[in-house]
Amino acid sequence: MKKRITFKQAMFLMPLLILLGIFAVYPIATSAVYSLFDYRTNDQSAAGLYVSSKFNAPLFYEDAGYITWYMEDDVTLLEGNDLTAAQAIIDGINEIAAPYEGVSEVVSIDDDIAQSVLDKMDAYQNELKTIYANNSSKEFYNGYEKLSLLFDEIKTCKISSNFTGLAAYKQVLQDTRFGTSLGTTITFTVISVFFEFVLGLALALIMNKAIKGIGIVRTVSLIPWAIPTAVSALMWSYMYDGSYGVVAKIFTDLGFISSPEVMLLSKSGAMAAAILADVWKTTPYMALLLLAGLQVIDKGLYESASIDGAGPIKTFFSITLPLLKPSILVALLFRTLDAFRVYDLIAVLTGGAQGTETLSIYAYKLMINQSNYGYGSVVVLAMAACVGIISFIFVKVLGAELLEDD
């Protein structure tokens, strides 16, 4: 029978729940909201979350003020009907802009009203074009070209709704670049985690032996994991360099690659370089997790197996591996999720070039380089879904009973 959490126990959990809400739930919820909009900060018509039509009042008032200011200089050179018409345009623009004086933010506006304002400004622009054409022989202080730029900018003041709903989710399913990045991420994850597990398990078995000098072996083996990922990636980039990189030179001499330049300038070479650097960096972490599992296995089981005549191989598969299963689950789960979200290693080594663009790199380019936070959020949520699927598969395949009560 399961016990219910008391009020006092719930109060102890409250700080943890608050932290989870701030650092886990809130970012995901924000990304989910952004994913429903065509939100791009490099485009003023999509630089916000607009469910309905909006009007950029401060920009409109500023541009209208510049137009009348420039025209006041030019009208001094006009005469007759053109002077009267130009003055009427100035008065008309001032009248239209007056309601927006002092407004410092984008405001909600009826779509018909916004369109009416823009239509009037468009009509004024056509009239001015005719006036300046009739007086082409005069040397105006500003001229029609400068005014036309302001009129064109005013046309962007009407901001239509950028709410797209679930359209971006449909788009990501048809996005070939997303599919390629997903394939690259899976390839990197599967290969690197496989080698890290095999090498990490071997290293853990060695470090578990009670032999002379094992403390030094354990300390030295953990050095790669202690180095920050960006630093180790930069270090490996020097060793991969086609001009003076020692690793590229050795691989060329061994016949693994045709020339040192291939290491980072070809698709297969760049991927192999990233995987090798990741395996070197995180194998000690895998070994550390597995070593913790080996330490809790009762040594008496090995003594009993030895008395019964069991050899090392049979002992490994009959005792070590089954009892190490919980640690293997934790180690593989942590490393798989970490490898699937890889960013800094790839960013420093290749920047996502030569077929090494992972989902994290793709999301970064969308959100930071292109300022496309709407579609970038969809990619991020797709990554979160993949992480959830990976976690579910690991628990089911490697044994959900490990998480159950005895």
How many CA within 13 A on the CB side of residue 54? 19
Q: What's the pLDDT score for residue 405?
A: 45
Report if residue 356 sits inside a domain. yes
Residue 78 shares a structural domain with residue 193: no
- Label residue 290 by pLDDT band (50, 70, 90): very high
- Placement of tokens 């380089």 in the chain: 369
Residue 358 shares a structural domain with residue 332: yes
Report if residue 327 sits inside a domain. yes
Report if residue 7 sits inside a domain. no
Structural domain boundaries enclosing 102: 54-159
On whether the pTM is more than 0.85, the answer is: no
Tell me the pLDDT of the chain averaged across its residues.
Answer: 87
Report if residue 266 sits inside a domain. yes
Q: How far apart are CA 60 and CA 97, in angstroms?
A: 7
- Cβ(61)–Cβ(94) below 8 Å: no
**Distance from first CA to last CA of the chain, Å, rounded?**
13
Report if residue 17 sits inside a domain. no
Which is nearest to 273 in space by CA: 240, 246, 241? 240
Q: Report whether pLDDT(403) > 70.
A: no
Q: What's the pLDDT score for residue 183?
A: 95
Which is nearest to 41 in space by CA: 378, 373, 379, 365? 373
Classify residue 328 by its DSSP letter.
H
Residue 84 shares a structural domain with residue 198: no
- Cβ(342)–Cβ(358) below 8 Å: yes
Neighbours of 131 (CB within 10 A): 20
Sheet with 107-108: strands ordered across = 107-108, 54-55, 158-159
- Cβ(270)–Cβ(356) below 8 Å: yes
Report if residue 15 sits inside a domain. no
Report if residue 320 sits inside a domain. yes
What CATH number is given to the structural domain containing 225?
1.10.3720.10
Count up the domains in the chain and report the number: 2
Classify residue 161 by its DSSP letter.
-
Report if residue 309 sits inside a domain. yes
Q: Is 172 helix (H, G, I), strand (E, B) or coil?
A: helix
